[in-house]
Amino acid sequence: MRIKEHPILDFKETKKLHFMYNGKQVYGFEGDTIASALHALGIKTLRHSIELKRPRGFYCAIGNCASCNMIVDGTPNVRTCITPLKEGMQVETQKDKGVYNETR
Amino acid sequence: MKHVDLLIIGGGPSGLAAAKMAAESGVSSLIIERDTKVGGQLVKQTHMFFGSEKQYAKTRGINIAEILINDCKEHDDKISYMTETTVVGLYPDYVVTVMDRNHKYSKIKANTILVATGASEKVLAFENNDLPGIYGAGAVQTLMNVHGVLPGQDVVMVGSGNIGLIVSYQLMQAGVNVKRVIEAASVIGGYKVHASKLKRLGVEITTNMTVKSAQGNGALESIVVQKLDDDWQFIPGTEEEISVDALCISVGLSPLSNLLSMVGCEMKYVSALGGNVPVIDHSHETTVPNIFVAGDVCGVEEASSAIVEGYYVGLIIGNRLGKTHPHYERLIQDFTQQLDNLRSGPFGEKTRSGLAQLRGEQHA
């Protein structure tokens, strides 16, 4: 959910950005990180833990803890809490350690 | 390989302050920042700061960030930036390896390095503490105040230090229902003024209480809290279930000092400073020559002291590189005095004892 009114801050509506989340088209706004756009859509699970496959969301939001890592445009382990959302991004839930894709 | 006079790791308050003073001394610097923009954690702090006017008291954190950023803009010829870039390695031959926004790696060599990486939020151990919906309080502050996204509808805050109290108030400002603030200790940790603001809004602050477990199917739905005795042991039969869709953990910060360990700086575990911190001398130089530190990475404090430490170290580094600020002596004295003032009084006691321990001194 997005903040509509705030006593101190002014959240101006910015450009809508469409992106793909697990194959489904969704949208966020310019200025969003991938994680904030997903959270605004009610999507809290960003990855699964490596061993026990437990759902994980973001924790630190400063690019430190790796809890928000997702596969973005084919690249795994992208820290979605500090990665700006861009039009046309392909974002997928990461369920393992991530595989290095040599062709990229 | 790119070669710079001064490489600053972290574009938060201390990094920006140091860049400004170094520039005024005549030294060029490169700031590496992993976030999309510089300003550090000030960019989400909507509250007004305390302290004296020299540290921008009565100014909101977001506006202090603007002041620091604009100050640096006045030295555009001397200060450059690499944002969305993460330092991944710091080596004894003064080579820093970085990964940029396109996930490309490169090396930079520096004559002097300032590590101003700040701190990260601690986690708390309890059953199901990894459920989505359980966040660091600062992380929620970022989500809310930078991105305008609410963490949930009903929140409990764990920890009543200043961050816990301030973020709780800001959650209420954003329209979130803060059901309770719980504190494991027997007293509220933060300033009374912040606690009173919350109480006036009807938010209950319960001391001697912590979170025992979290429940939820895929995401957080409820927590169980329980009373603690004065020895921090659970009191049987006092469990209470609270339904929440977000839980904020505000149980302190740890210095982000990994790079300093990596390069071989002598480190010391000082609980009062937040964890593993580098051993430094009065000029904030680590045991590895020409590697300096400022801000939370060398002891968790407030942003005000991070700024002053940044100014102080910026001057020292300028001097080290043979470019002495025209008002060097006066400014060094001024900033030393400011830091002493910030650390005076009962709330500075923890920092004073931590610094004494770090220096191996007896603390009165």
Quote the pLDDT of residue B246: 98
Q: Report how far Cα B329 is from the mean position of its chain's Cα atoms.
A: 28
Task: Please say which residue of B200, B234, B249 terminates a domain.
Answer: B249
Put simply, the answer to whether B84 touches A82 (Cβ < 8 Å) is yes
* Nearest Cα residue to B77 out of B4, B15, B28: B28
Quote the pLDDT of residue B239: 98
Q: Is B273 exposed, middle or buried, given 0-12, 13-18 or 19+ CB atoms closer than 10 A?
A: buried
Instruction: Pull the structure tokens for residue B204.
Output: 């209950």
Quote the pLDDT of residue B346: 87
Residue B325 resides in a domain: yes
Quote the pLDDT of residue B9: 98
Residue B201 resides in a domain: yes
Number of folded domains in chain B? 2
- B158 and B182 Cβ atoms separated by less than 8 Å: yes
Query: Does the pLDDT at position A104 exceed 60?
Result: no
- For residues B296 and B245, give the distance between their C-alpha atoms in angstroms, rounded to a whole number: 31
Same domain, B36 and B113: yes
Residue B345 resides in a domain: yes
- For residues B257 and B112, give the distance between their C-alpha atoms in angstroms, rounded to a whole number: 17
- For residues B17 and B101, give the distance between their C-alpha atoms in angstroms, rounded to a whole number: 25
For A8, which residue in chain B has the nearest alpha carbon? B46
Quote the pLDDT of residue B363: 72
- For residues B179 and B193, give the distance between their C-alpha atoms in angstroms, rounded to a whole number: 20
Put simply, the answer to whether B148 touches A9 (Cβ < 8 Å) is yes
Quote the pLDDT of residue B362: 74
Same domain, B115 and B259: yes
> Is B136 at the interface with chain A, CB within 8 A?
yes
pLDDT digits (tens, 9 = 90+) for A1-23: 899 889 999 898 899 999 999 99
- For residues A9 and A12, give the distance between their C-alpha atoms in angstroms, rounded to a whole number: 9
Quote the pLDDT of residue B201: 96
Provide the total of helices (H) and of strands (E) in chain A, helices listed first: 1, 7
Residue B363 resides in a domain: no
Instruction: Pull the structure tokens for residue A64.
Output: 């430190």
Q: Which strand (E) or helix (H) includes residue B187?
A: none
> Is B214 at the interface with chain A, CB within 8 A?
no
Would you tell me how many other CB atoms lie within 10 Å of the CB of residue B248? 29
What residue type is assigned to position B76 of the chain? D
**How far apart are the CA of A41 and the nearest CA of chain B, in angstroms?**
10
Q: B163 is in which domain, residue-wise?
A: 124-249
Same domain, B140 and B223: yes
Quote the pLDDT of residue A103: 59
Which of B149, B155, B177 to mutate: most A Cβ within 10 Å?
A: B149
For A40, which residue in chain B has the nearest alpha carbon? B149
Q: Which residue positions in chain B have pLDDT lower than 70?
A: 364
Among A55, A57, A82, beta carbon nearest to B34: A82
What residue type is assigned to position B350 of the chain? K
Put simply, the answer to whether A84 touches B36 (Cβ < 8 Å) is yes
The contacts of residue B122 (CB under 8 Å, 6+ apart) are B249, B251, B252, B253, B254
Same domain, B116 and B128: no
DSSP labels, B253-288: EEE--HHHHHHT--EEEEGGGTEEEE---TT-B-SS
Domain ranges of chain A: 16-92
Count CB pairs under 8 A between chains A and B.
Answer: 103
> Is A11 at the interface with chain B, CB within 8 A?
yes
- B88 and B97 Cβ atoms separated by less than 8 Å: yes
> Is B150 at the interface with chain A, CB within 8 A?
yes
DSSP state for residue B50 in the 8-state scheme: -
Put simply, the answer to whether A55 touches B131 (Cβ < 8 Å) is yes
Residue B166 resides in a domain: yes
- B145 and A68 Cβ atoms separated by less than 8 Å: no
Give me the phi and psi of B20, to 5 degrees please.
-65, -50
What homologous superfamily is domain A16-92 in, according to CATH? Beta-grasp domain (3.10.20.30)
**Is the entire prediction scored with pTM above 0.80?**
yes
- Grade residue A102 by pLDDT with cuts at 50, 70 and 90: low
Task: Please say which residue of B249, B276, B301 terminates a domain.
Answer: B249
pLDDT digits (tens, 9 = 90+) for B115-157: 999 999 999 999 999 999 999 999 999 999 999 999 999 999 9
* B27: CATH: 3.50.50.60
Quote the pLDDT of residue A100: 76
Task: Please say which residue of B189, B217, B249 terminates a domain.
Answer: B249
Put simply, the answer to whether A60 touches B218 (Cβ < 8 Å) is no
